[in-house]
């Protein structure tokens, strides 16, 4: 009987340990960029949930009851910080969660907000070198709450770190291709300050560092002046922000919308900015292509067909007629 009891205790304790070992962590990230970085380090060990969906604006997000449940059940909550997710602290306190909360911008060289005194710009991920701080914070937190997987986390971290470093070099090199006087980026909101500071491109935006601020007429006047003075060939819209103001600005100045940039959210899975690495690479390619353009062409959106020239149509008709004439002529002569 004693043997049976000992065996029973042994099996119960081992199965408990096994269960504890294999239970995947519940990780919740606030926005797509932080979620993607975390997935790269976690690998397929655990599922990473994301609160703000791709394409939505994390500055002004309105949490749902499902989000509160996610937060309540989480083991680890990952936020950007610097008031990027102004809605999160209330969500955390209401949920009564016991999860560890980490702030990825901790340790980043922060840039102050241009619009609000005593406030910082949250878009630190736009400088790939800062992403190295982000992923180290993620890796350290994962190792702390799940030390058994330390080796996996360290390995994934090493691979991802190298990819981010390569991307950082790529952006530095690419921006150099834009003529120096045209290295001015005109966008919807000030999400590109970190990007501009690191890679040598001046930033001019319609709105401030948060999308909550209203654009002023004075902003439009200031941007028009910048476009004219520097012969800027393009402005850029952002995936999470209404493009109306920027499209108007482009039309008024007879320049193009250089493309859609991703700043506060990744694109969906089919987009060219489905991951953090792809997002920065894609943005850079769009910016370099549009600002390197020699001649400014009139505004047209990608969905609109380019109007065909009437000369081209008449020219083709003429060629057809002449060809037909020669064909008939040869038939008659034969």
Q: Are strands 47-50 and 234-238 parallel, antiparallel or unpaired?
A: unpaired
Closest CA to 272 of 284, 290, 289: 284
Nearer to Zn ion (CB atom), residue 38 or residue 239? 239
Stretch that binds Zn ion, among 91-99, 177-185, 230-238, 263-271 (CB under 5 A): 263-271
Stretch that binds Zn ion, among 134-142, 257-265, 297-305, 318-326 (CB under 5 A): 257-265
* Residues counted in the chain: 334
Contact indicator for 267, 54 with CB cutoff of 8 Å = yes
Stretch that binds Zn ion, among 32-40, 75-83, 188-196, 200-208 (CB under 5 A): 188-196
Nearer to Zn ion (CB atom), residue 208 or residue 233? 208
DSSP 8-state class, residue 19: H
Stretch that binds Zn ion, among 16-24, 34-42, 261-269, 280-288 (CB under 5 A): 261-269
36 binds Zn ion (CB under 5 A): no
Contact indicator for 75, 100 with CB cutoff of 8 Å = yes
111 binds Zn ion (CB under 5 A): no
Which of 167, 191, 227, 280 binds Zn ion (CB under 5 A)? It is 191
Nearer to Zn ion (CB atom), residue 57 or residue 75? 57
Nearer to Zn ion (CB atom), residue 160 or residue 192? 192
What the block records as the tokens of 17 is: 């340990």
Number of residues that bind Zn ion (CB under 5 A): 2
- Give the integer Cα–Cα distance in Å for 314 and 17: 81
Which of 67, 121, 168, 264 binds Zn ion (CB under 5 A)? It is 264
Nearer to Zn ion (CB atom), residue 143 or residue 191? 191
- Give the integer Cα–Cα distance in Å for 43 and 191: 29
Stretch that binds Zn ion, among 47-55, 183-191, 274-282, 287-295 (CB under 5 A): 183-191
- Give the integer Cα–Cα distance in Å for 74 and 76: 6
Nearer to Zn ion (CB atom), residue 80 or residue 284? 80
Closest CA to 301 of 273, 260, 241: 260
SS3 of 61, please?
coil
Nearer to Zn ion (CB atom), residue 70 or residue 191? 191
How many other CB atoms are found less than 10 A from the CB of residue 323?
Answer: 10
- Give the integer Cα–Cα distance in Å for 238 and 122: 16
Nearer to Zn ion (CB atom), residue 168 or residue 264? 264
Contact indicator for 267, 55 with CB cutoff of 8 Å = yes
- Give the integer Cα–Cα distance in Å for 81 and 145: 20
Stretch that binds Zn ion, among 21-29, 143-151, 184-192, 299-307 (CB under 5 A): 184-192
Who contacts 82 (Cβ-Cβ below 8 Å, separation ≥6)?
A: 105, 110, 120, 121, 122, 124
Nearer to Zn ion (CB atom), residue 85 or residue 168? 85
Cβ of residue 133: shortest distance to Zn ion, in angstroms?
Answer: 18
Cβ of residue 238: shortest distance to Zn ion, in angstroms?
Answer: 8
Cβ of residue 173: shortest distance to Zn ion, in angstroms?
Answer: 26
Closest CA to 132 of 88, 101, 164, 99: 164
**Strand ranges (E), 181-327:** 184-187, 202-205, 234-238, 256-261
Cβ of residue 57: shortest distance to Zn ion, in angstroms?
Answer: 8
Cβ of residue 18: shortest distance to Zn ion, in angstroms?
Answer: 44
| Residues in 126-165 at the binding interface with Zn ion, rule: CB under 5 A | none
Cβ of residue 287: shortest distance to Zn ion, in angstroms?
Answer: 17
Q: Which residues bind Zn ion (CB under 5 A)?
A: 191, 264
């Amino acid at each position: 009987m004693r043997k049976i009891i000992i065996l029973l205790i042994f099996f119960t304790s081992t199965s408990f340990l096994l269960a504890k070992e294999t239970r995947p962590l519940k990780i919740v990230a606030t926005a797509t960029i932080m979620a993607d970085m975390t997935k790269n380090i976690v690998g397929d060990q655990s599922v990473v949930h994301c609160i703000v969906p791709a394409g939505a604006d994390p500055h002004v997000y309105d949490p749902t009851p499902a989000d509160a449940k996610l937060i309540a059940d989480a083991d680890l909550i990952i936020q950007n910080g610097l008031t990027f997710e102004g809605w999160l602290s209330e969500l955390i306190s209401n949920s009564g969660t016991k999860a560890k909360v980490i702030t990825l911008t901790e340790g980043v060289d922060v840039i102050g907000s241009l619009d609000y005194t005593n406030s910082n710009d949250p878009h630190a991920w736009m400088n790939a070198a800062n992403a190295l701080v982000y992923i180290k914070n993620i890796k350290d937190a994962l190792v702390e709450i799940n030390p058994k997987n330390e080796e996996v986390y360290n390995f994934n971290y090493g691979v991802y770190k190298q990819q981010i470093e390569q991307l950082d070099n790529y952006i530095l090199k690419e921006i150099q291709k834009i003529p120096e006087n045209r290295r001015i980026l005109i966008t919807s909101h000030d999400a590109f300050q970190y990007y501009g500071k690191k890679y040598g491109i001046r930033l001019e935006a319609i709105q401030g560092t948060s999308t909550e601020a209203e654009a002023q007429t004075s902003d439009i006047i200031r941007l028009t002046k910048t476009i004219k003075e520097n012969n800027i060939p393009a402005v850029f819209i952002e995936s999470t922000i209404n493009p109306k103001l920027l499209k108007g600005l482009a039309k008024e100045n007879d320049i193009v919308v250089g493309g859609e940039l991703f700043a506060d959210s990744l694109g969906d899975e089919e987009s060219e900015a489905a991951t953090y690495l792809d997002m920065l690479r894609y943005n850079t390619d769009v910016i370099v292509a549009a600002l390197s353009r020699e001649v400014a062409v009139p505004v047209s959106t990608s969905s609109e067909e380019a109007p065909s020239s009437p000369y081209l149509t008449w020219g083709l008709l003429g060629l057809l007629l002449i060809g037909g004439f020669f064909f008939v002529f040869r038939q008659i002569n034969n």
